[in-house]
Chain A
């Protein structure tokens, strides 16, 4: 069974940093792209960033709203994905979900959508 468990959330002041972790189990972590998706309180879903598997070059992309402030990374030996969030703004307040992409097997350009989800973790940016 695929399990994704986020950790590291909490309350942080504007301008400060916070790091999220996503610990995965139940699948071969290194074979899959991983993404972060967030949801502001009472709002819809917003993709934040993804990192492809090493087989696909470990390509990274970010939403414009976080580019230059957030950094996604992965440690395949530990089955963990990370999201380093710097220069946080009040509008970054949201539940952050760790997600796993579907299998990339057979695709030259693997699709990145959100096959499996963690329970999410709340990040509150407030003074």
Chain B
């Protein structure tokens, strides 16, 4: 199984400041034949279902603010919130879809400092 490890478990960031979340996979999720990373990011606000933010490691879903960006390749990935807003308070998860079982990271809780 591919193990997804997120860091940190939680972080507190001042409004308007940058938040950076890391996700490391135990093996590469880069599919060489199409040069795509099979990695997604989700946001889960309290009491709500998760919401897909980013797929293919760096492709933002329609309607997702451009302060959210994804980067990385192979085994190391980052979700960046460039200027934290109050509505960004949530738990963020990465997920690999390179192979089954489909696996998630443990989540990173983002709060306001």
The answer to whether A and B assemble together is yes
Residue of A nearest to B104 (CB): A45
User: Contacts A113-B55, A114-B52 given: A44-B40 contact, CB under 8 Å?
Assistant: no
Bound CA span A115–B51, Å: 8
In the complex, are the beta carbons of A47 and B104 less than 8 A apart? yes
For window 3-28 of B, CB contacts with A under 8 Å fall at none
In the complex, are the beta carbons of B50 and A114 less than 8 A apart? yes
B63 within 8 A of A: no
User: Contacts A114-B40, A114-B95 given: A47-B102 contact, CB under 8 Å?
Assistant: yes
Inter-chain contacts of A111 with B (CB < 8 A) = 38, 55, 97
Task: Give the dominant DSSP class at A's interface.
Answer: loop
Q: 1/0 contact trace for B86-113 toward A, CB 8 Å? A: 0000000101010011111111000000
A17-25, A70-78, A84-92, A116-124: which lies at the interface: A116-124
In the complex, are the beta carbons of B97 and A118 less than 8 A apart? no
In the complex, are the beta carbons of B101 and A63 less than 8 A apart? yes
From residue A17, how far is it (CB to closest CB) to chain B in Å? 23
In the complex, are the beta carbons of B49 and A117 less than 8 A apart? yes
For window 19-50 of A, CB contacts with B under 8 Å fall at 35, 37, 44-47, 50
Bound CA span A122–B42, Å: 21
Inter-chain contacts of B44 with A (CB < 8 A) = 45
* Residues of B bordering A, CB below 8 Å: 38, 40, 42, 44, 49-52, 55, 93, 95, 97, 100-107
Contacts A113-B95, A117-B51, A117-B52 aside, 11 further interface pairs with beta carbons under 8 A come to A44-B104, A45-B42, A45-B44, A47-B103, A61-B100, A102-B55, A111-B97, A113-B97, A117-B49, A117-B50, A118-B49
Provide 21 A-B residue pairs closer than 8 Å at the C-beta atoms, listed in order of the A residue: A35-B102, A37-B50, A44-B93, A45-B95, A45-B104, A47-B101, A47-B102, A50-B102, A61-B101, A97-B49, A97-B50, A112-B102, A113-B40, A113-B97, A114-B42, A114-B95, A115-B52, A116-B52, A117-B51, A117-B52, A119-B49
